[in-house]
């Protein structure tokens, strides 16, 4: 496979990596979490400015760590969609400039395809078809992975993404941002059976519920009402028990849908990607539920669950080896369906 340098700047991590044969030669990540914590979320303009300041440093670090020169690089890639447009433009501009300067092919990569390829980094023998449960701050989807560049969304959230729900519930509990790691840590100290919280369901016009789509807005509201009710009796909240009950409900909802979808489509492997893939509750629920059905479940290492450039480089390398390249006029897009990945290549 090709040796690809990739740049990831879709949100609040400035990341650059070099990957060859699904092996990571270098993986540099400069996080902005500390900068955005005081705002309680990512501020797009601040994120873009930080990318401008860090991207050249990250490129130099990636080349040094991989012991590579530009002669060793076959292609240069960058995340182009979906994401914060201002942030995406920083990485895209850097990658295009380097591609022209060093006369290398340029590849624009879909961010969600990158999360799918995070599993290839930890499990190089993984081959389609399989089901990807992609759960992050902006996305919650069940994706049928048919081949490189060919995907079908079988289920998705109708409102809040799972990661977004974690952040919002953390805010209700007056916890730090980002909410996912904090709630996960507290949940391990609490009892998940303390409070009953409803799983969101999507009604079908003909009756019944959608088997794969999810909803987390109602769950967030249920937590709010629970907090308000508890505060009527005492100003001290059982935060660990609330966190554990909430996390277990999310994990149960995601697990039920992923298992049902895999079985219905005859898929024997479920690969999980995105920031919420790092959640211990989801890992425990899904792995336990898969055993009776003889399903293989793949969770990437924690460092590949959150945004990184290694997963982008891995996806780009596979496209490169199949003869795909992107035009230099390719722009940044805040939204792009995973089924439209092949539109990124000439």
Looking at residue 123, what is its pLDDT? 95
Looking at residue 346, what is its pLDDT? 82
Whether residue 31 is found in the same domain as residue 144: no
Using the 3D structure, point to which of 304, 321, 336 is the last residue of a domain.
304
Q: What is the CATH number of the domain that holds 269?
A: 3.30.420.40
Element (H, E) at 158: none
Q: Does 263 reside within a domain?
A: yes
Place of tokens 């919650």: 140
Going by the DSSP 8-state scheme, the letter that residue 53 receives in this structure is H
Whether residue 88 is found in the same domain as residue 145: no
Average pLDDT over residues 175-201: 95
In contact, 233 and 227? CB cutoff 8 Å: no
Place of tokens 């201002």: 86
3-class state of residue 124 by DSSP: coil
Give residue-wise pLDDT tens across range 124-140: 999 999 999 999 988 99
Whether residue 280 is found in the same domain as residue 142: yes
pLDDT-derived band at 39 (thresholds 50, 70, 90) equals confident
Whether residue 164 is found in the same domain as residue 268: yes
The pTM of this model reads 0.94
Give residue-wise pLDDT tens across range 297-343: 999 999 999 999 999 999 999 999 999 999 999 999 999 999 999 99
At what angle are helices 162-172 and 239-264 packed, to 10 degrees? 170
Whether residue 171 is found in the same domain as residue 290: yes
Q: Does 339 reside within a domain?
A: yes
Q: Does 246 reside within a domain?
A: yes
In contact, 334 and 84? CB cutoff 8 Å: yes
CA-closest candidate to residue 80, choices 4, 9, 152, 153: 9
Whether residue 17 is found in the same domain as residue 112: yes
Place of tokens 């996912």: 180
What six digits make up the tokens of 210?
A: 């959608």
User: Between the CA of residue 53 and those of 42, 81, 96, what are the distances in Å?
Assistant: 17, 21, 18
Whether residue 164 is found in the same domain as residue 86: no
In contact, 300 and 118? CB cutoff 8 Å: yes
Whether residue 55 is found in the same domain as residue 45: yes
**Number of domains into which the chain is organized:** 2
Range of the domain at 197: 128-304
């Amino acid at each position: 496979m090709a040796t690809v340098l990739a740049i990831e700047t879709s949100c609040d991590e400035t990341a650059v990596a070099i990957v060859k044969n699904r092996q990571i030669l270098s993986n540099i990540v400069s996080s902005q979490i500390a900068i955005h914590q005081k705002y309680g979320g990512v501020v797009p303009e601040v994120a873009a400015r930080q990318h401008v300041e860090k991207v050249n440093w990250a490129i130099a670090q990636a080349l040094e760590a991989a012991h590579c020169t530009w002669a060793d690089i076959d292609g240069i890639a960058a995340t182009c969609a979906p994401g914060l447009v201002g942030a995406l433009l920083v990485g895209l501009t850097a990658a295009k400039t380097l591609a022209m300067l060093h006369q290398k092919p340029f590849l624009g990569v879909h961010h969600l395809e990158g999360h799918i390829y995070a599993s290839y980094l930890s499990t190089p023998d993984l081959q389609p078809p399989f089901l990807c449960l992609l759960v992050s701050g902006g996305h919650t989807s069940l994706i049928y992975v048919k081949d490189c560049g060919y995907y079908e969304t079988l289920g998705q959230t109708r409102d809040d993404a799972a990661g977004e729900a974690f952040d919002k519930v953390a805010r209700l509990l007056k916890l730090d941002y980002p909410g996912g790691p904090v709630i996960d840590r507290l949940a391990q100290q609490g009892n998940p059976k303390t409070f009953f919280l409803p799983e969101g369901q999507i009604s079908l016009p003909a009756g019944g519920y959608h088997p794969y789509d999810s909803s987390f807005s109602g769950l967030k509201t249920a937590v709010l009402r629970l907090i308000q009710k508890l505060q009527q009796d005492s100003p001290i909240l059982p935060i660990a028990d609330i966190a554990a009950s909430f996390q277990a409900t999310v994990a149960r909802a995601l697990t039920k849908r992923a298992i049902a979808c895999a079985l219905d489509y005859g898929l024997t492997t479920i690969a999980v990607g995105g920031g919420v893939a790092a959640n211990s509750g989801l890992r425990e629920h899904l792995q336990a539920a898969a055993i009776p059905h003889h399903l293989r479940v793949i969770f990437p290492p924690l460092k590949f669950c959150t945004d990184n450039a290694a997963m982008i480089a891995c996806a780009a390398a596979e496209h490169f080896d199949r003869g795909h390249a992107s035009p230099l006029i390719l722009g940044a897009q805040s939204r792009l369906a995973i089924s439209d990945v092949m539109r990124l290549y000439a």
